[in-house]
Amino acid sequence: MESKVLDPNKDSVVLDDALTVSWAPHIRSNGSVRRIMLDVIIAMVPAMIGSIYFFGLSALTLILASVASAVFFEAATQKLFKKDVLIGDLSAVVTGILLAFNLPANAPWWVAVFGAGFAIVIVKECFGGIGSNFMNPALAARAALVASWPEIMSSYVNPDGIASATPLAILKSGGGVSSLPSLNRMFMGDIGGSLGEVSAILLLIGGIYLLVRGVIEWRIPTFYILTTVVMLLILGVDSSLIIYHILGGGLILGAFFMATDYASSPTTPKGKIIFAIGAGLLTAIIRVKGGMPEGVSYSILLMNIATPIIEKFTKPKVFGEGK
């Protein structure tokens, strides 16, 4: 067969009539990257509508600023690097929405712009573009924003515009059930928090859509949430408060939409389970023993870094390969 080199500026190269080699993410399905990203966007639509319903114009402004900035920075960076402009694959749109979902509703618009620039330029394009980023771009940007503007990123308002502590912050300070919002309010999203974490039901609708479409597998969301619950109980959290830990904060958002990122999570079934268990353990430990009320973002980022090691020890042996 004629030897061909895969051009990093091209999506793929045809080696013969039956074999095409392409850049990551390597997805065993008939769907294109654009189709998969479109499914993710569709899955996030309920939560987007919910955030705009509860927080109004400020939520819409942050989502639009984040998405527009992500698309702009991707196109500009790819042109600067003399690569094909691939904004049509919609991956930048997904990153922009996820970043907005990690912002407080009262954050200024320029925070979204800075975060989008960090996510796309530093985390994604500087490491090779889609499929080559070693951690989730939106979560990495959130971590950078928390380090740069902690007051902005830890200031939350209720849908009525009044500043208040999030359910996890109340739990962290020792508050009991009587000081927490009702479960109905938490399930529907009528509470303070980041745009994409407040409505559990809308996130679950999107997560189920991704599972049905085959965009994500059940292993990471299931083992992530279950491990977090078990570890919280081991660490002494009262069983009556466990449901608040599930519905409050970014556990559902992280489990379905960010821990399942193709490029930064393991590809093997065993690897996915190990990844999810590790993220769950870290989330519970940070929430109970750490200095912050939330631990989802940093847990997933730490497991992103561990992904190459997990892949190394869980990859299946090639038939006939020696020990």
Tens digits of residue pLDDT in 262-278: 999 999 999 999 999 99
Q: Is residue 23, in this structure, part of any structural domain at all?
A: no
Q: Of 276, 298, 181, which is closest to residue 222 (Cα–Cα)?
A: 276
Phi and psi angles of residue 13, each rounded to the nearest 5 degrees, phi first: -135, 135
Task: Give kind and range of the element (H or E) at residue 42.
Answer: helix 33-55
Q: What is the pLDDT of residue 322?
A: 55
pLDDT over 60 (residue 208): yes
Q: Does residue 66 contact residue 100 with C-beta atoms inside 8 Å?
A: yes
Kindly indicate the confidence band of residue 320, based on its pLDDT and cuts at 50, 70 and 90. Answer: low
Q: What residues make up the domain containing 213? A: 33-314
Report if residue 290 sits inside a domain.
Answer: yes
- Is 223 among the domain residues? yes
Q: Is residue 44 part of a domain?
A: yes
Note the helical H segments in 123-268: 137-148, 150-153, 167-172, 183-188, 200-213, 219-234, 242-247, 251-253
Domain count for the chain, please give it: 1
pLDDT tens-digit profile of 153-188?
999 988 887 887 888 988 888 877 888 889 998 899
Q: CB–CB of 197/253 below 8 Å?
A: yes
What pLDDT is stored for residue 132 in this prediction?
Answer: 86
Closest listed residue to residue 283, CA positions, set 312, 320, 311, 258: 258
Asked whether residue 322 is assigned to any structural domain, the reply reads: no
Query: Is 323 inside a domain boundary?
Result: no
Nearest residue to 284 via CA among 165, 172, 147, 154: 172
Q: What's the whole-number mean pLDDT along residues 6-31? A: 46
The pLDDT of 9-28, averaged and rounded, is 47
Q: What is the mean pLDDT of residues 244-261?
A: 94
pLDDT value of residue 4: 44
CATH of residue 184: 1.10.3430
Q: How far is CA 33 from CA 14, 23, 30, 86, in A?
A: 17, 11, 10, 11
Confidence of residue 13 (pLDDT cuts 50, 70, 90): very low
If pLDDT is split at 50, 70 and 90, which confidence band does 258 have? very high
Mean pLDDT of 96-113: 96
Asked if residue 6 is part of any domain, the answer here is no
Residue 222 lies in a domain: yes
C-alpha–C-alpha distance, residues 235 and 169, integer Å: 17
